[in-house]
């Protein structure tokens, strides 16, 4: 079974390192939101905080680019498999060919294209797995009335899967904004140009080009006026940033990333919640709207209230006001060490000259993932404060 902890960090995004088969199996049990980062997405994610927040509120971020897979090898953290939306969606339909519970709504494409895709997919699968389809108007995401009409139609369709292909970042932002209104949808798939491919409206690159990482070249050849700037200009800073990450020089504003992370992901990155605990909490929250995520974490005994309050409320304030504390003070504020434990570790450190972190690991008070997370927090807050002090000096 796939675990959210199995990730590869690329710039400011953690990509889930799983195969297509593992994703299919996990989706069938747990559902969730699937987004497919490629080079263009990662470029946008450096400056578009709304998109970054939508990404971090997704459940699966899977590699949609052979180039990104190559880069993961370059960075020393190999991604198992490229899972592009245009490959995964047909595989998803095939996987659920005989599962009558899976009913899909297609949203995207130019007028009539989604309907063409619906007919062809249903003929291929041998049943009406696509129960309805709609091609929204250009700029629909800015029209609240049209968005509500789309939501009503999806809810009326009895679909439990939404496959949306209106391009990034529209599709990811639309899911994040309206997911809570689509109560019958268990699985959200952001699939880009897949609807056009399935309808036969656009042709895909030959398989050998896709396998070699040259699909972008085929798409550039097919739509040069629309795509030349994306591939030949906008993508260049991405490769510069990858080089910086390779040599530990890449920096994304820490305070911005913290703002974008949902509480569950933040606690998981800090090594305090497992993926199964997050999912169990989210299921309980879905059935009980009167409790917040953090409250349910405490009620289930996963963490104490002081720890949850630290990550939910106190941490953003520490970042905002440039609080620079010692490691033990951070851990005490987070409810992970009491004052007696901090004092004991400091005394032992004085006598042995061992590092504070090494001592609390040996005593079994903190796990290694949590220790590393708090050490990085300490470093980042020092860096944030230094940058702000430099800005003040320049302003003078």
Instruction: State the helix-helix crossing angle for 144-156 and 170-178, rounded to 10 degrees.
Output: 70
Neighbours of 211 (CB within 10 A): 12
Report the pLDDT value the prediction gives residue 155, as an integer from 0 to 100. Answer: 96
Give me the residues of the chain with pLDDT under 70, please: 1-5, 322, 383-396
Closest CA to 283 of 59, 103, 93: 59
Alpha-carbon distances of 32 from 107, 113, 127, 190, 264, rounded to whole Å: 17, 26, 24, 11, 14
The pair of structure tokens assigned to 93 is: 């339909």
In angstroms, the Cα distances linking 70 to 39, 82, 238, 304 are: 12, 10, 14, 42
User: Across the strands, what pairs with 162?
Assistant: 105, 188
Alpha-carbon distance of 79 to 367, in angstroms, equals: 26
What's this model's pTM, rounded to 2 decimal places?
0.82
Q: Give the C-alpha separation, 204 to 194, whole Å.
A: 9
pLDDT at 208: 81
Q: Radius of gyration (Cα) for the chain, nearest Å?
A: 23
Q: Locate all alpha helices (DSSP H) within 214-314, ordered by sequence.
A: 215-222, 224-229, 236-246, 254-260, 263-269, 275-287, 293-299, 305-309
State the pLDDT at residue 150.
97
């Amino acid at each position: 079974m796939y675990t959210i902890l199995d990730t590869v960090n690329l710039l400011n995004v953690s990509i889930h390192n799983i195969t297509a088969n593992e994703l299919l199996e996990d989706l069938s049990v747990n559902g969730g939101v699937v987004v497919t980062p490629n080079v263009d997405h990662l470029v946008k994610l450096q400056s578009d905080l709304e998109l970054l927040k939508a990404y971090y509120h997704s459940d699966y971020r899977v590699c949609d680019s052979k180039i990104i897979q190559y880069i993961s090898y370059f960075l020393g953290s190999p991604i198992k498999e490229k899972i592009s939306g245009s490959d995964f969606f047909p595989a998803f339909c095939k996987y659920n060919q005989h599962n009558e519970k899976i009913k899909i709504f297609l949203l995207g494409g130019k007028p009539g294209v989604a309907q063409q895709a619906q007919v062809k997919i249903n003929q291929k699968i041998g049943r009406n797995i696509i129960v309805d389809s709609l091609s929204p108007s250009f700029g629909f995401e800015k029209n609240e009335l049209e968005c509500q009409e789309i939501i009503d139609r999806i809810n009326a369709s009895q679909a439990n899967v939404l496959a949306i292909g209106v391009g990034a970042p529209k599709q990811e932002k639309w899911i994040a904004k309206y997911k809570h209104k689509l109560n019958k949808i268990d699985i959200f798939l952001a699939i880009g140009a897949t609807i056009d491919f399935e309808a036969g409206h656009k042709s895909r690159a030959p398989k050998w080009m896709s396998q070699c990482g040259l699909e972008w070249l085929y798409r550039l050849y097919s739509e040069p006026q629309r795509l030349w700037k994306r591939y030949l200009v906008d993508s260049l800073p991405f490769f510069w940033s990858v080089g910086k990450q390779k040599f530990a020089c890449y920096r994304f504003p820490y305070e911005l990333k913290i703002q974008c992370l949902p509480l569950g992901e933040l606690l998981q990155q800090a090594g305090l919640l497992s993926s199964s605990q997050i999912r169990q909490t989210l299921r309980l929250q879905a059935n009980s709207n009167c409790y917040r995520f953090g409250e349910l974490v405490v009620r289930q005994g996963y963490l104490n209230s002081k720890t949850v309050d630290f990550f939910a409320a106190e941490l953003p304030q520490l970042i905002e006001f440039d609080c620079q504390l010692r490691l033990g003070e951070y851990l005490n504020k987070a409810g992970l060490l009491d004052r007696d434990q901090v004092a004991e570790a400091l005394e032992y450190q004085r006598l042995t000259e061992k590092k504070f972190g090494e001592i609390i690991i040996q005593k079994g008070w903190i796990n290694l993932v949590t220790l590393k997370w708090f050490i990085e927090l300490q470093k980042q807050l020092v860096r944030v404060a230094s940058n702000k002090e430099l800005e003040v000096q320049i302003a003078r």
